[in-house]
Amino acid sequence: MSMELMVKAMKTTKRDRVYAKTGGRCSYCGTPVDLLTFAVDHVTARKHGGSNRIENLMPACNPCNGAKGAKTVEDYRMYLVAKSVTGEPVFGHSQLLYLKAAGAFPVLGFDKEHKFYFEVME
């Protein structure tokens, strides 16, 4: 087997393992994802020191992966809660962090609990 085929096979196997972590569903919203087109999300983004180890990888639908970007899971949760209240992503990341630190979340209704699929799946 050529080196290229070995690398491709290894990647496919890893991708299959990531896919299986949530039974073929997006880790964040729970939407079924296609094995060939799902996004492999880094729970801790590479730019924040995250690795390509299986423990740091989760399957995601493309909309969730794009919205999460390099955010931490907690920052993505905060973003989604704020968006659910306002209907639009009107606050940037640094603004949300400031509002949270200032204690404004309960006043704005941003203190709702939000669970991701990977946190509640059986």
Band the pLDDT of 6: cuts 50, 70, 90: very low
Residue-wise pLDDT tens digits, 12-43 = 689 999 999 999 999 999 999 999 899 999 99
**Measuring CA to CA, which residue among 38, 14, 16 is closest to residue 28?**
38
Instruction: Tell me which CATH code domain 1-69 carries.
Output: 3.40.1800
The structural domains of the chain, with segments of one domain joined by +, span: 1-69, 71-115
pLDDT digits (tens, 9 = 90+) for 77-101: 988 888 888 888 888 888 888 888 8
pTM value > 0.85? no
- State the Cα–Cα distance between residues 82 and 31, nearest whole angstrom: 21
